[in-house]
Structure 1
Amino acid sequence: MATTTPSAHLFTLPTELRNAIYLYIFSPTPGDTSPASSPPTPDPLALALRFDKSPYPSNPSSTPPSTSPLRLLLTNRQIHSEAALLAISLTPFHLAGPLADPENFALRSRLLSQAKLGAIRHLTLTARISHLRALNETWAGLPFGSPELQLETLTIVPRRPDCSSGAYAEVADLSQSHTLAYVFTETFKGLRGVGVVEVRNQGCFNDVVWRILYRGVVYRLFRWGGGECGVRFECSAEDGGGEQEAWFRVLFQGSREGGNEVGAEVRRLAGGELPDPGPTAGFGGP
């Protein structure tokens, strides 16, 4: 009498092998995280969770590709149960500017369980400068005002207001760069729940204004916290790449090694001379 051999499929594999397969499928490619890459396009999971219906720049071109790895989660309940948190933790979600406001973020993320919201590790916020004011005005030291979020990377892509294309564009850009420097500095002073904040230019400002913005952030933090205030800086080369490629990162305590302490970065930007920060409180002080 002939015997039948049970067919092999994904769920006949040991759990360790299935986890390795999920990790391979959902891990982003190197281009997804490089500083010079464009903001990630919307993905099916983000759309399903109502996280990304109208990102800047407005580009309804696009229907999410049917080949997205996240569509695997729709296959059946077991795959969703086994892989959803891993997939969310590896996906760089892209949020539109209005979601910088904690009330809007809470409203749009209400469909997520606390476990899924807490699994998110990579967020990109593309926002006009007016929306970025929410970072220091309403976040209260928590990304998007959400205590559940524990981000490895928060990427911010600023967009200029429409008036910046008029006759007084240069004056408007300088004003906006000073506004951003203030907003970022006040936010970084007490930000928790984030390992690295990366700010990408991507054509928002020309090279000169971008350098003013970056130097303004570094020097304001130096004036506030002294030479060592718990954050470190990395930036793209100022003599290469152009405004489309420019970026800087702020690395918070416990994030990873690398970068310059604020005092060392001020010294580098000033050509070797370290100015007196003045009588200001350090990080963690009153």
Structure 2
Amino acid sequence: MADTTQPACLLTLPTELRNAIYLYLFDFPPTSPLPSFPPQPDALALALRFDTTTPYLHTNTNTPSTLPLRLLQTCRQIHAEAHLLALSLTTFHLPTSTSHPETFRLRSQPLSAAKLGAIKRLTLTARISHLRALNESWAGLPFGHAGLDLESLTIIPRRPDCSTTAYAEVADLSQSHTLAYIFAETFKGLRKIRTVEVRNKGCFNDVVWRILYRGLVFRLWKWGGEECGVRFECSGDGEDERDAWFRVYLGDGEDRVGRGNEVGVEVRRLAGGEMPEPGTTAAGFGP
């Protein structure tokens, strides 16, 4: 009798095995350097839809985190089975312009509500001046969009051009205070997001970065007291300033268990164990 056994392929595997393969493929570690961003085509809008006339392979959005999305373009069955899982595990890197709600709305318009709601990880690289949109126009929602429900948002600030002049130190100090104010005002009412991570990536030197973080913690402590609804975590003092980071946990209940310090605890840690006296400054917790 002739052997009629067909060779196994992805679509002939049991569903649970295919799902395990999808999970392994799309849970891609974002460890590579951030790419540059052409104004069009847009990875957030173009790479997430199934359109055989506009293959994802022909775009200029081959960022490390979105490369696995190519699998969604192979056939309609794989797209139907895996696209929501893929969106939930992929980190999309967004440029400065998308910090403004109207720009984000226009560039994400081709996405259905289900696809937009499936997106959980975004990274925004933006000039500090553009980050003003966080507390001025987001109105408590990430990117001002009610359809987003994020697990994490990573923000990578970029310095203005004047930071390369003779006044760079003064400009950096001014920008650090601006960022501390923007972040503090934003985090007071930000919803539908669990964690915000801010990464230095060479924006500031070590001293200015510490001033930024201390200023943010101090402002939220002054606003909300010992427990203001957020928790804090930061990189160690001995780490390279270019890779320094801090995280703010905004989730409720179990989302924050075991993560970071309450604001009162973090203020004491930064102040060397003593609670600052009224009238102290944000940067150094001292007169």
| Shorter-chain TM-score range | 0.7 to 0.9
Determine whether 1:8 maps to 2:4.
Answer: no
User: 1:277 deviation in Å?
Assistant: 6.6
Tell me, what secondary structure is at the counterpart of 1:19?
helix
Structure 2 partner of 1:27: 27
Q: How does 1:96-245 map to 2 (within 5 A)?
A: 96-238=95-237, 240-245=238-243
Per-residue CA distance 1:196-224 (angstroms, 9 max, x = gap): 10000011111111110000000000000
Question: Could you list the runs of 5+ residues in structure 2 that have no partner in the other structure?
Answer: 48-59, 280-287
Structure 2 partner of 1:281: none
- Return the TM-score normalized by structure 2: 0.84
Give the Cα separation in 2 of the matches to 1:144 and 1:271. 36
Determine whether 1:47 maps to 2:46.
Answer: no
Structure 2 partner of 1:282: none
Tell me, what secondary structure is at the counterpart of 2:197?
strand
The Cα RMSD (Å) is: 2.3
User: 1:275 deviation in Å?
Assistant: 2.7
User: 1:276 deviation in Å?
Assistant: 5.3
User: 1:258 deviation in Å?
Assistant: 1.6
Structure 1 partner of 2:271: 270
Percentage of identical aligned residues: 68
Structure 1 partner of 2:285: none
Give the Cα separation in 2 of the matches to 1:25 and 1:8. 19
> Which amino acid letter does the alignment assign opposite residue 134 of structure 1?
A
Give the Cα separation in 1 of the matches to 2:271 and 2:224. 18
Structure 1 partner of 2:248: 250
Give the Cα separation in 2 of the matches to 1:171 and 1:116. 44
User: 1:63 deviation in Å?
Assistant: 6.3
Tell me, what secondary structure is at the counterpart of 2:148?
coil
Tell me, what secondary structure is at the counterpart of 2:220?
helix
The count of residues paired between Structure 1 and Structure 2 equals 260
Give the Cα separation in 2 of the matches to 1:121 and 1:13. 28
Give the Cα separation in 2 of the matches to 1:178 and 1:137. 16
> Which amino acid letter does the alignment assign opposite residue 17 of structure 1?
L
User: 1:108 deviation in Å?
Assistant: 0.4
Tell me, what secondary structure is at the counterpart of 1:49?
helix
Give the Cα separation in 2 of the matches to 1:91 and 1:46. 15
CA contact under 8 A between 1:215 and 1:269: conserved in structure 2? yes
Tell me, what secondary structure is at the counterpart of 1:118?
helix
CA contact under 8 A between 1:218 and 1:262: conserved in structure 2? yes
User: 1:46 deviation in Å?
Assistant: 5.8
Q: 1:38 to 1:268 in 2, by over 3 A?
A: farther
Give the Cα separation in 2 of the matches to 1:151 and 1:48. 14
Q: 1:142 to 1:162 in 2, by over 3 A?
A: same
> Which amino acid letter does the alignment assign opposite residue 14 of structure 1?
P
Give the Cα separation in 2 of the matches to 1:190 and 1:215. 20
User: 1:2 deviation in Å?
Assistant: 4.2
- Return the TM-score normalized by structure 1: 0.85
